[in-house]
Amino acid sequence: MKAFVFSQKGIIEEKNLPDVRLDMTCEADRRAAVLKPRFLSPCSSDVHTVFAGNGPRRENLVLGHEGLAEVVETGPEVRDFHPGELVAVSAVMPEPGDRTGHAGMPFSGTKLGRNIDGMWSEYFRVPDADINLAHIPEGLSAEAALMAVDMMATGYTAAEEAGIEEGQTVAVIGSGAVGLMAGAAARRKAGPAGRVIMIGSAKDPVSAEAAKLFGVDIYISYRDGSLVYANDRRDLTPFAARDPRANASGSPAVDEVFRSTGGYGTDAVLICGGGPEALIQACDLVRYGTGVIVNMAYIEGSGTVSLPIFSLGRGMSGKTFKFELSRGGRDWTERMLAEALSCGSVQGRLVTHRLKGFDSIPEALELMRRRPAGLIKIMVEI
């Protein structure tokens, strides 16, 4: 079968690999399924993996973890999925007995394209099909279902792990698809009395339009701290100049959040982009005592990260940091799919670009890497 393998840093290469088949004498295969990808979306984490990571983890690793696929074959112990069905495949896969996956758990998440082969091949295998595949509800668009398996799953994990409550102020750093979904989830949890502030690239109007659509109240450019838009800037108590040490990275966007919140900062920060500096900014932005920071962003490199001591309560305050991978598994994925259905498939609007055919996978990855203006996510229809 044809497959795109990650052969060396910066290179995705087409290869002929042996067909994926189930071996019924193998215990694990009795619970597994073989599927054929139908709709795929290269993820920005694929871009990091291929172009910025430390190279392939092993030979002939097939990438690809965001997709909808047709079930081709199932092991005899698979009860809920049948050949011919179009299903959503959870990007992160829990082990049996652990249906919520990795977030908040010891590392048990199997990940397609990481420790097992992913979907960028004519056929691929999913272990424990009954807990890792998800039924797509009738009436949900393919685009929205595709955006549920990783973008929503990850963004909603951030809001869930932050324990956002009604009326709270939440900052989201990063305006890509995960940031937008984290914003949407924060909006849901904080309710109309709460506030969602996004610090994003603001490089094209598509990003701001999407932020509005998903309920972000205030959108601030990370470059210069300018307000891209502000639907809600109700707390305009004169901004008492804070100790300059409270903004350790000197970010104008951090200053603008302080200004927009009367110097209060935020109850939670969801980091969905922005590089290592985002950790410093999040620490500066989140309030003392109960503030929670959840990092969902891919941290590149192998050095160290730093934190601002002044904002950590001059060295001794309670700020909670969480470093999470998306929740996964069938339960979480089906929750995302149901949420997308209840929103009228609006998540499908994250798909701004479409390509056709298996052979267009490298082109889609390259497009994700270049990120032309107006691009949020790509859907490849096989």
Give the footprint of Zn ion on this chain (CB under 5 A). Answer: 43, 45, 150
Residue 326 near residue 102 (C-beta atoms within 8 A): yes
Please give the radius of gyration of the chain, using alpha carbons only, rounded to the nearest integer.
21
Query: Rounded to whole angstroms, how far apart are CA atoms 128 and 82?
Result: 14
Choice between 45 and 266, CB closer to Zn ion: 45
Choice between 45 and 169, CB closer to Zn ion: 45
Choice between 153 and 218, CB closer to Zn ion: 153
Residue 113 Cβ vs Zn ion, minimum distance, rounded to whole Å: 9
Residue 273 Cβ vs Zn ion, minimum distance, rounded to whole Å: 13
Choice between 43 and 282, CB closer to Zn ion: 43
Residue 61 Cβ vs Zn ion, minimum distance, rounded to whole Å: 15
CB atoms near residue 193 (< 10 Å): 8
Choice between 120 and 219, CB closer to Zn ion: 120
Choice between 285 and 296, CB closer to Zn ion: 296
Residue 268 near residue 162 (C-beta atoms within 8 A): yes
- How is residue 68 annotated by DSSP? E
Residue 90 Cβ vs Zn ion, minimum distance, rounded to whole Å: 11
Place of tokens 């750093």: 173
In the complex, residue closest to Zn ion by CB: 43
Partners of 133 in the β-ladder: 89
Choice between 43 and 181, CB closer to Zn ion: 43
Choice between 150 and 334, CB closer to Zn ion: 150
Residue 178 Cβ vs Zn ion, minimum distance, rounded to whole Å: 8
One DSSP character per residue, 125-189 reads EESSHHHHEEEPPTT--HHHHHHIIIIIHHHHHHHHHHT--TT-EEEEE--SHHHHHHHHHHHHH
Helix axes 153-162, 329-342, angle to 10 degrees: 100
Residue 131 Cβ vs Zn ion, minimum distance, rounded to whole Å: 19
Residue 133 Cβ vs Zn ion, minimum distance, rounded to whole Å: 17
- How is residue 42 annotated by DSSP? -
Residue 18 Cβ vs Zn ion, minimum distance, rounded to whole Å: 26
- How is residue 240 annotated by DSSP? P
Place of tokens 């009367």: 262
Nearest to 199 by CA among 44, 182, 352: 182
Choice between 184 and 296, CB closer to Zn ion: 296
DSSP SS3 for 199: strand
Query: Rounded to whole angstroms, how far apart are CA atoms 239 and 229?
Result: 19
Partners of 200 in the β-ladder: 221
Residue 272 Cβ vs Zn ion, minimum distance, rounded to whole Å: 12
Return the exposure string of 106-128: e unless at least 16 CB atoms fall within 10 Å of the residue's CB, then b. Answer: eeebbbbbbebbbbbbebbbbbb
- How is residue 70 annotated by DSSP? E
Determine whether 172 is exposed, middle or buried from the number of CB atoms within 10 Å of its CB (0-12, 13-18, 19+). buried
Residue 270 Cβ vs Zn ion, minimum distance, rounded to whole Å: 16
Choice between 64 and 200, CB closer to Zn ion: 64
